[in-house]
Structures are given as structure tokens and as C-alpha cells.
Structure 1
Amino acid sequence: MRPARALIDLHALRHNYQLARELSGARALAVVKADAYGHGAVRCAEALADQADGFAVACIEEALQLRNAGIRAPILLLEGFFEADELALIEQHELWCVVHSLWQLEVIERSAVRTPLTVWLKMDSGMHRVGLAPADYQAAYRRLLATGKVAKIVLMSHFARADELDCPRSEEQLAVFEQAREGLAAEVSLRNSPAVLGWPQLFTRQQAGDWVRPGIMLYGATPFEQAQDAAARLLPVMTLESKIIAVRELPAGEPVGYGARFVSERPTRVGVVAMGYADGYPRHAPTGTPMAVNGQLTRLIGRVSMDMLTVDLSDLPSAGLGSRVELWGKQVLASDVASCAETIPYQLFCNLRRVHLLYREG
């Protein structure tokens, strides 16, 4: 059997969730959209079921997967509904729903729902993706209440640049949000992972009923490009690993892989690893991207191909056929691999495929 696999540490997942609660002092919806960022939504939700205040997914298909697996906790649809007929399923499965557009509000007004909904009313405070304009926010709030079809409204927005610790945009967005919602007595949800980790000074006046939405931090990866104290407390959840399936001894001056992107400058011992871009490892990761073989750090050399990549074993005389290779995990951080490949850990995790997930408790 092909040795590529991803080990998912459920103890680390629970640790990271508790850290989100500790740092925020708020209730936390564990974001498990996109199959829990490639970690397996059902297994991750099951691991958090006895401690999570609820879960958040992108769409109703993801929510129904959790409900069908027996997850009874609240589940929020972060993009709300896409078609009016989804409201029947939202009511049937007791889902919470984001309303980010006037057309969604109008659908609720015309609907025949009998069980009042829990709505998270989203404001566009400056990200300019989805959300109601600040000028329309209070009127939308009053219209929802007037329908008689809404039991509870949570006020929410989303930060565009909270992962930039020296950027004032989050403070500006917060000011827009606070001004637009003045006088509305309701629970609030603003903070994503970077806001929980990096911006505690903005939320000294939070209410006891407020919510945070930890996503990438649940999976143990930092959202920041630079070192950050709170992010240093995260535990990596996924370890992507494989094995060396062949070894080559090359003299100086020999090219390795497609396009001769690497040419040996000295006699070089090359290990071939069963891992490629079809598994989700980034094709554009350059020579020098870190990886570990039998616990010793070394580097990727040459271009990543569909099913294989090559690693420098020149200074690892004990490594050879069958040696374990960590592509990212507890020793080689996903954020470091992402930085080398000019991407982000979110994409590394979400692109994972054709790799067996194995779950363990640490």
C-alpha cells in the first residue's frame, strides 16, 4: 500500500479549541468547513462534540453531513442559504443561518417556517465580500424581528486583514461595526483565528454572550507571517508523511527531475518520496523547502511531480529505503512549507487528497 498518509492528532485539536476559548473569553464555534480544512469534518466534530459550543460550515451540504453523523450541537451556515427551498431543511435540522444579503431577508419574510430561526446577521464592515451595508444594518435587524420567524439574532462581521499585525484595518472595521450597530442589544461575533490570537486589545468591552469563530488555529497553524506569542502555543494537528521508495547516488553536475530545476553541485544522495502534487503537496515548492527524514531536517530538491518528489540525503547517511519522511507536521511546520511555496497553510490543508487520514489521540 502506498505509504503517503496524514496523521490527525485529536488531542491537539481539542487543545487548540480550548486555547481559542481561553484567549477570547467567549463562546466558540469550531469552523469545520471544507472538510475541516482537509482534516475530516465528521471525525473532528466528533472529537470536539463534548466541549464545542457549536460548529460552523460553509453550506447546507456540509451541515447535513454532520447531522447525519449524529452531531446535534448548533451548526451555523456561514454563507447562509443559496436557494429559498433550503429554508425547509434549515428548519428541519435546526441549523443556524447567516443572512448577508437583502434577498435572503426577503425570502425569510415570505417563508412559511413555523419554528423561529436563529439568524446571524452579517455586516460588511470593510471586507467587501458579502454582508449588508452599514447603512442598511439596523433596518434589516428590525425587519427580521418583525417577521415573527426569527427567535434570535447574532450580530456579525468579518475582518479582512487581522493576519497583518501592524495594519490598522481591523480597528477601522471595528469602529464601522460599532457605529452601525449602536443601540442593538444582541450577541456579537467578529473574531476569526487571527483576531483571537493577535488582537486582544480590540475586545476589552466584549459581552459575556459573544462568539468567536476559530478556524485555522484549530488545526494548529499560525495565520501570521511573523512569530506571535499566542500562535506559538498552538499544537499542529496534521502530520503529512510518507516514505523513501528509492535512492540514487549522483555525481556533481547531474540534473534531478523535470526541467532540471536542481543540478547537483557535489556528489549527492537523492531520496525519492511517495508524495506529489496529486496528493496536495504544492508543485511550486522550490528546492530548499524543509522536510524531515527519520527526524532529521533536510530539504526538497528538484521539481515536485504528480506522484513523487526528491529529497537531499547527502548528509543523512543512515537514511535510505523505507525511511519516514515528514512533509509537514510537528517538526516541519505547515506555515514554513507554505511560506517557501508562496501560499498559506489553509491551502496546503484544503488541497490534501488521495492521502489516507489516520486519527489518534496524540
Structure 2
Amino acid sequence: MTEVMDERGAYRRGKKERRESERTPRREADAAKIPFSRTWFETERLNSGRLLTALAEVTTVKTVRGGEALRFCVPSRDRAKVVAICASLCYNYKIIKEEGILLSFIRALGRAGIVLGTLGALALTAVYPLFVTEVEYGGDYIAEAVRVVEESGVKRGAFLPGFDGEALEKALLALDVVAFASVTKRGTHVYVDVRAERSDEHFVDVPTQPVTAKITASVTRVVVWSGTALVSYGDVVRPGDELIGAYVVSGEDKVPCPADGEVYGLTYRTATRFFPDTEFVREYGRTHTETRLSFSGKQPAVPESPFEDYVLEVSAVRNDFMLGYTLYTYTFTEVHTAEKENDRTEDEMMSEVKLRLLEELPAGAKLGEVRAECVRGDGGVYVTVTAEAEEKLN
């Protein structure tokens, strides 16, 4: 009898376990399929910039300031993308919560019947615009302004049937640090734009110095970057003359502004040199060399020259081996003066003067016509070269 009861009991228990295992588990609402739902993640803050950069390429990320861990939320529809990125970058993460107006209602009404679901949907459609799903701040971040907004009840998830943006703007403007405030509500989003008071303005003095000429020239080009041109093509200017005025004309008024630009003109440079028929030149002849040793580091006295007129060259070589010494070498070169006739041609003399004149031209000058003439004078030839060039005048 006992064995029969045990077999029946085992049969009943097995049947009960099979019924329980065949039950379908209750399905939770998938936030990824619910509009306006957001999923919150938490990861370590170390090298968070790398993670946020990768996330920003695939979804919209909003972070929470402060704390040892990095907390951020993304639209629930992008939850799978975030999980994949965290896994590929080897970030430990956990999903803190999933939130959303529709998600909350759907989960709350998950076990309700069709009638309750329909009534809830109709009620949600009518009530949803009165909720706040997002508060976005623009302009300057001011902690006191954020506190005033949150204390007024404007925060994510709040129910605001009587939203008064003007009253909130006045409360923000009452803060000493706020110079401008704007609060608007569009749909379920509230936009707060605040601007902080600025320190005293630092006005920059506008330079009023005109552009002036440095050399005498005939103007060829005027390039004005700022200001008003006071000269034109063909005008002759002299050092100190104003080329560009530090103002612009507006109607009958002259408005100050910096004067800047480039003015070019033709200049004429002249060089004259006298070439005597005979000239005295120095000629070098014999050489004589003497050496002196110095163990004390002091230079020995210069030996006497064997020539009456000479050029002296001194060289020193230091040897630090053993005792150490310095070897001084004195080289005397004999010099005598000789009278030499000028055997240059006129072209050679003009070339010498022209070369010296061109060396005086500033960088960037464009050489124009070059004129040269030779005039016979008392005991020699006068060579005059005149070069025309376009130069920058300022």
C-alpha cells in the first residue's frame, strides 16, 4: 500500500513540475521599441573621452557631471550599439535604468486588459504634452540658474500643466550673475538660455596714424587695405607726406579706422665717381717670418720689422702636450706705393659706378631705366649714373 502511494505522489509531483516548466514567462516591455525611452549606463571614468567619442558617432549621448564613474544615457533604440562599442573597447559597464514616459505607462499597464490599455493610451495622448521629457540649457553654464530652474519644478519627468516661462525668466534675471534669460517650452522639451554678466568692457583704441612717405617719388600704385587713399597716380610725394588717411568716408562724416596699405612710386638715384688719370696704389713685395715660443701664456714682444712700410700678420698655435707652450708666428709683408695710370675704358668705369649704385637699392625694388655719362675733367674723368626704380614708399 505504501509503495502505491509513493508512486502516485511521484507521478503527481512530476506532472506539476511539467506544468510549471511549460508556463510562458511574462515578457517585459522592450525599451528599445518604445519611443522617447532612454537607457542609462555606468562605466569607469578612466579615458572616458575615447568612449564618448566613439558613441557620439552612432548616437546622441548625454552625460552626468561629477562622480567617480561616468554615467550617460542614450536613446533606448541605440542600446545595442552602445553595448557593442563598450565590448569592443573593453569597457566594463552596467545598465542602471531605463526610463521614459511611455515606457513607464506601458510597464505599469502591462497586465491590464484591452479596455484599460485603450483608456490609458487615450489619457496618455491627452496628458503627454504636459510632461517634461528633456530640459536643455544653452549659453553659459551657471549653477545658480540650474538650481532656480529645478526648484521651480522644471526637470525631466515633471508634470507641468501650468507652465509659466515668463515667471521663470524673471526669477533667473533676479540673479546677480545673469544678464539675459530665455525659457521656452516646445512640446515636451524645455529650452533654457542664460547669459552671464560680463566684466567691464575693454575698449581698444583705434590707431589714427596715417601712412606717410619715407622718400621722394612719383606715385605709380596705391594698394589700400584699410583707410582712404590720399594720393593717386602721378602725384609727387616727399618724406612725411600722407599717403593713406586713417579714416573712411561715410556720407559727410569721416569715421576713424586703422590706416594700412602699400604705396609704390618711381624714384631716381644718382651716383658720381671721379677716376683720376693716375693714382697711387699699394703694391706688396717681399715677406719675412719670425717665430716666438711662450710657456707662460703671455704673448711675446713683436720682433722688429726689416721693412720700412709693411703689413703684419700674427698667428698663434697652442700645444698642451707635456709642458705646454704657444707658438707665435709673425709675418711681415713689404708694402710700397706706386703711381699707376688709369687704363679702364669708359664702359668699365660706368659698370663699376652702376654696380655700387644698384647695391643701394632696397629689396623688392623693380629697376627701370639706367642712364650713365662720362665727363672729362681736370686730371681725370667724372662718371655719373642715374637709376630709375619702382620702390615701396611707406
- Into which bin does the TM-score normalised by the smaller protein fall? under 0.3
Q: Which has the higher strand share?
A: 2
Structure index of larger Rg: 2
Q: Which has the higher helix share?
A: 1
Q: Which has the higher contact order (CA 8 A, sep 6+)?
A: 1
